[in-house]
Amino acid sequence: MKTVLITGCSSGFGFDAADYFLARDWRVVATMRTPAKSTLPPHPHLTVLALDVTDAASIAAAVEVAGPVDVLINNAGIGLLGAVEGISMPLVREVFETNTFGTIAMIQAVLPQMRARRAGVIINVTSSVTLLPLPLLAVYTASKAAVNALTECLALELEQFNVRTHIVLPGRAPSTSFGANARPRMQDTIPPSYAELAASVFENFAKSTEPVTYSHDVSDALWRAATDPASPLRMPAGADAVALS
């Protein structure tokens, strides 16, 4: 039985992916900051672990308990919307610590065992916003675009060890709690000079009738990346993401 370790499983894409892989007879190590709040239903092949991807000790402890990992899915991430001028540097660092540096730290923690076995798959979940410049998303986009570049370079390093890397790029997913979870970080990130632009952006969001992404779209892409060696390095997930690509 193969094992997948998924970060950020408390809700949204990670939650759905854990359920998806369990339904296909995989052992799933579902990680999140506060496992006590997990609503994943009990399953004999499910292990729920505490993991903060910004904490080296937390990563080491989770990886040790997880044991051999065939597929690592770096899904943990935080959102942020605001004008670059209005976002404090501590907040910029918080976003990069989770979205970018946390992803790198997880790869470094799991990669040695994959390299030794000469087998494994690393899948990094980024975002379709990296495919199209959008206002008020510069910091978030930059944190995800860095992971795209990292993954592409990493693929060249790991080919010799038979370890694959993939990028899954979801589109906008209003049915998840990602946006709601980001709101507490958005206080005072839009200075008065940008109020008119922000109002226009929010109005467009509210009126949008464009296709969106659902969690099952992302799980489908993750499953394909995990199980199909012929799958492409970049994989859009969701009708809107596919259209952008």
Catalytic sites, residue numbers: 140
CA-CA distance, 150 to 100, in Å (whole number)?
9
Q: Which two tokens stand for residue 224?
A: 């394909």
228: left (phi over 0), alpha (psi -120 to 50) or beta: beta
* CB neighbour list of residue 186: distance below 8 Å, 6 or more residues apart: 80, 81, 82
Give, in degrees to the nearest 5, the angle at Cα 44 between 226 and 9: 50
What letter would DSSP give residue 192? Answer: G
Tell how strand 71-74 and strand 120-125 pair up.
parallel
CA-CA distance, 140 to 146, in Å (whole number)?
10
In this structure, how many other beta carbons lie within 10 angstroms of the beta carbon of residue 157? 12
Integer CA distances (angstroms), 92 to 46, 61, 81, 106, 213, in order = 34, 27, 11, 20, 26
Integer CA distances (angstroms), 199 to 136, 172, 182, in order = 11, 19, 18
CA-CA distance, 19 to 40, in Å (whole number)?
8
CA-CA distance, 66 to 13, in Å (whole number)?
20
